[in-house]
Amino acid sequence: MGEVANQRHAAAASATTVAEASATNGVGASGPAPQQPFLAADVGGTHARIGLVVGNANGRRPVSVLHYHRYGCADWSSLTAMLQDFVAQLANTPHAALRGELRHCAVACAGYVLDDAIVNGNLPWPVSIREIRDGLGIQRLAVINDFEAVAYATQFIAADETRPIIETAQPAASGPALVMGPGTGLGSAVLLPGHPRAQVLATEAGQVSLAPGNEREIEILRLFRRERAHVSFEDALSGPGLLKLYGALCELR
């Protein structure tokens, strides 16, 4: 995926947190994306993509990206520090006048929300929801799982923006859809179509124990267990996991 597509993905995925995040997260009420510019962040275990975005009336393109920057998570002391830097850097852009008008922020972050924290062992630092809100001085903060946001955002992807892995003559089926993706970890969520809006089931399916299905996979699991007692799907199907999987296969050969 190119950087332009990454910008679109980050903006669409994060902006939908404003429209879809519920008050049960303790971070803001649900409702449509605000029409004034707001911050949107897509935070993974390795990179954070932060954008200044604005809602619009286009049903297929619910947000527009005004400014965008990608950060390396390990280079910063906290998510709050990255967001504050992004706002500070707006002074050097055509959108400098908007710095004092930012009242809303949407964060799609790897892991799961538990009280004030976002729990994720792949992030280099803890994430405090209260710290983000206080550090930015904003009125409304929406925080959900990153693949929960991606699942919502798939509703706005056009057919020509996708690349089928398996070609088929069958038309796309309607109904629940599983959204998965390997990165620093293995993200997953389930999109449930509905009216007036779709619902998403956030999951931590990547943490499920790796279940071997044949003798070769049993041997691979045995090699993985030399490093840790519990081996999850994420330990094999992720960026770091694929390297470990390659190493295990080389050893077995």
Q: Give per-residue pLDDT as tens, 117-171.
A: 888 888 889 999 999 999 999 999 999 899 999 998 888 888 788 888 888 888 7
pLDDT reported for residue 6: 54
Angle formed by the axes of helices 129-136 and 79-89, to 10°? 20
Closest CA to 11 of 177, 150, 133, 118: 150
Q: What is the arithmetic mean of pLDDT over 16-34?
A: 47
Confidence of residue 9 (pLDDT cuts 50, 70, 90): low
The yes/no answer on whether domain 3-156 falls in CATH 3.30.420.40 is yes
Q: Alpha carbon 189 to chain centroid distance?
A: 11
Lowest mean pLDDT of 14-18, 34-38, 203-207, name the range.
Answer: 14-18
48 DSSP 8-state letter: E
Q: What is the arithmetic mean of pLDDT over 7-25?
A: 51
pLDDT reported for residue 27: 44
| Average pLDDT in the chain | 85
What percentage of the chain carries pLDDT values higher than 70?
A: 85
Sequence spans of domains, the chain: 3-156, 208-252
